[in-house]
Amino acid sequence: MATVLLIIIYIAFIGLGIPDSLFGTAWPAIYSDFGLPFSFGSFVTVIVSCGTVISSIISSKVIAKLGTNKVSAYSTLLTAIALLSYSFAPNLWVMCFLSVILGIGAGSIDVALNNYVALHYSATHMSFLHCFYGVGVSVSPYILSLVIAGKSGWRGGYRITFIIQLAIAALLFISLPLWHKVHGAEESTDEAEFKSLSLRSILKIPGVKMMCGLFITSCAIECTCGGWGSTFLVEYKHLSPEKAARIIMIYYVGLTLGRFLSGVLATRLHSWKIIKLGQIVLGAALLLLVLPSNVYLCAAGMFLIGLGNGPLFPNFNYLTPENFGSDISQSVIGIQMASAYIGIMLAPALCGLLGQTFGMVIFPFYLILFYVIMIPLTIRVRAVLKKNTKQS
């Protein structure tokens, strides 16, 4: 039964990914429909991120009261309702209101399932969990590419994904008793095993600030690429919205494949080596995106960005106990996740503003800026960590 439950959790993480790629892919059609500047999409993405932060902060208390199974089921249902409501939104401001609901639902699922898998399954299972998130973010652009040029347009894409999300929520509700049968009642971790540190104390630990910087840069590239890649392809490369949606799907396929390969390679390679390989692929991909290119090279560049950047986030997380010690890893992970949300929230919004001002020609150079920050930061943090923990 543990295997059956794991499959259900993986399916739930597909549901987490479905909304994350939908808005950015649909946005070129939405802003044209509403007659808005394309930079206004940042309002929605920032609000979703704020909702995610809020739900992440309060999720531990909610999970302790309801349990991971109920939180996952109700949160998935909440995101399904938000997706359906998006399809009927008459303007951007209604979408902004619905974005709060979507963000709160998504944040609760993320925290609940990550904690549960970390407690009850192996690190390889955790890597594959994020791989299934990649399946979810790949599905949405594909669905949208099929319907966006038809009568139903982008609204039809939201309605189809609502049906999928509703089915996942139904599965989670049906499986509620299974969670207790497999692992019994959830128990909170003994706080005595961990050191609870203040923010100031955590940031004084050598290497913590630099690791936070790595989270910001990786998440900035991932979310900016997913959120504004479609607009870049439509506005600057002059592709149709449906072709752009297909390429964004290819980007998320690369992200998924990168995380899958990371899980496979984890049995043979240390996480830092996987990170190094990912960064090499990412650098080559960004250069490919800058070069004058046709639709096929654009697709290849986006795929390779996902392939290279995909393994970075999960491996940065896996390294936390090794980097700083298991006794303070919970405190450090909390700060690292907060840093990740900063990258997710602010980087795409800034890209939208710069793109509106200077044109979407800035898109690949904007991504390269974060990469240029990431590489020396990686070298420096490895040197600091080796000095303090004597890592090999």
pLDDT digits (tens, 9 = 90+) for 82-131: 999 999 999 999 999 999 999 888 877 776 776 677 667 766 777 788 88
CB atoms within 10 A of CB 35: 7
**pLDDT of 375 strictly over 50:** yes
For the stretch 144-197, pLDDT in tens is 888 888 888 999 999 999 999 999 999 999 999 898 887 665 444 433 444 556
pLDDT of residue 264: 87
User: What tokens appear for 377 in the block?
Assistant: 């930061």
Contact (CB, 8 A) for 254 and 304: yes
Cα distance between residue 75 and residue 155, in whole Å: 22
Cα distance between residue 35 and residue 125, in whole Å: 45
Residue 195, C-beta contacts closer than 8 angstroms, at least 6 positions apart = 327, 328, 331
One domain, residues 121 and 204: no
Count structural domains, the chain: 2
For the stretch 204-248, pLDDT in tens is 888 889 999 999 999 999 999 988 998 899 988 888 888 888 898
Collapse the DSSP code of 310 into the 3-class scheme (helix H, G, I; strand E, B; otherwise coil) and give the result: coil
One domain, residues 141 and 231: no
One domain, residues 71 and 160: yes
Q: Where does the pLDDT of residue 60 fall: very low under 50, low under 70, confident under 90, or very high at 90 and above?
A: low
- Of the candidates 150, 181, 212, which is a domain's last residue? 181
Q: What percent of the chain has pLDDT over 90?
A: 38
Cα distance between residue 129 and residue 386, in whole Å: 29
Cα distance between residue 76 and residue 108, in whole Å: 9
- Of the candidates 155, 181, 207, which is a domain's last residue? 181
pLDDT of residue 331: 67
Residue 190 belongs to some domain of the structure: no
pLDDT of residue 386: 84
One domain, residues 206 and 351: yes
Q: What angle do CA 93, 40, 370 make, to 5 degrees?
A: 135
Q: What is the CATH number of the domain that holds 321?
A: 1.20.1250.20
**pLDDT of 8 strictly over 60:** yes
One domain, residues 228 and 98: no
Q: Which long-range contacts (CB under 8 A, 24 or more apart) does 147-151 make?
A: 148/26, 148/29, 148/241, 148/242, 148/245, 149/240, 149/241, 149/242
pLDDT of residue 326: 67
Of the candidates 125, 150, 136, 348, which has an alpha carbon nearest to the alpha carbon of residue 232? 348
Rg (CA), the chain: 20
Look at 339 and 177; give whichever has higher pLDDT. Answer: 177
One domain, residues 171 and 246: no
pLDDT of residue 317: 79
Q: What percent of the chain has pLDDT over 70?
A: 90
pLDDT of residue 191: 36
One domain, residues 232 and 150: no
User: What tokens appear for 131 in the block?
Assistant: 């791989």
**What domain range includes position 239?**
199-392
pLDDT of residue 389: 59
Q: Where does the pLDDT of residue 329 fall: very low under 50, low under 70, confident under 90, or very high at 90 and above?
A: low
Cα distance between residue 333 and residue 326, in whole Å: 11
Residue 368, C-beta contacts closer than 8 angstroms, at least 6 positions apart = 286, 290
pLDDT of residue 93: 93
Q: What angle do CA 79, 84, 86 make, to 5 degrees?
A: 90
Contact (CB, 8 A) for 221 and 258: no
One domain, residues 219 and 151: no
pTM confidence score: 0.75
Look at 273 and 320; give whichever has higher pLDDT. Answer: 273
**pLDDT of 391 strictly over 70:** no
**pLDDT of 53 strictly over 90:** no
User: What tokens appear for 143 in the block?
Assistant: 């669905």
Cα distance between residue 190 and residue 194, in whole Å: 8
